[in-house]
Structures are given as structure tokens and as C-alpha cells.
Amino acid sequence: ITAEEEERSNLKNILTRALGVDEVTEVDLYEIDWYDDDILLACTDGLNKVVTDAQILATVQQMKTPKMIVEHLIDLANVGGGVDNVTVVTAHLKG
């Protein structure tokens, strides 16, 4: 579905998997190539419910350190209403 359809969907907050529910949890694994100076960002939906992809990208591009990225994104989520708990984790690959 498109991003616009996803935003209007009544299924967007349904959990399909959760840790600790079953004895064995099926995990999605993806392999990606990392390059020097890449930044990986992982977050809960508490962030992207109120902060747009464009705002997230701009923050990653403008902030100097992973700590600054995390703090700024959490601030944006809180200013945007903070309707859910927010977790943001970054990793920076340096040569």
C-alpha cells in the first residue's frame, strides 16, 4: 500500500509479532551493505507517528553525532504531542 493509504489504514497499529509472546519468535532479517560514515537509525512508532520521514532525514543529515540525532528526534516527537513512548537508537559506522 502507499504511504497515504497506510496513514489512513485502521490496521496500521496492529502488532504482527512480539518478543516474549511465543516460545519461538519468527524474526525478519535483512542484510544491507554498510559504508564508511553510514548511520543506521532504528525507532519505535512513537517517533514516526508524529515526526515525518523528511524531518527524520533532515535531522540525521544535520546533526553532528548519533547522540544529537537521538536527542533531537525525541524532542521533535515530544513537541509533536508525544502520544506514544519513543525509542530511538543510532549507530554510526566509522572506517
Per residue in 24-60, pLDDT tens? 888 889 999 999 999 999 998 889 889 999 999 999 9
Q: pLDDT value at position 35?
A: 93
Kindly report the number of other CB atoms within 10 A of residue 73's CB atom. 23
- What is the rounded CA–CA span in Å between residue 75 and residue 61? 16
Window from 18-22, 64-68, 83-87 with minimum mean pLDDT: 18-22
pTM for the model stands at 0.76
List, in sequence order, the alpha helices (H) in the chain.
3-8, 45-48, 53-62, 66-79
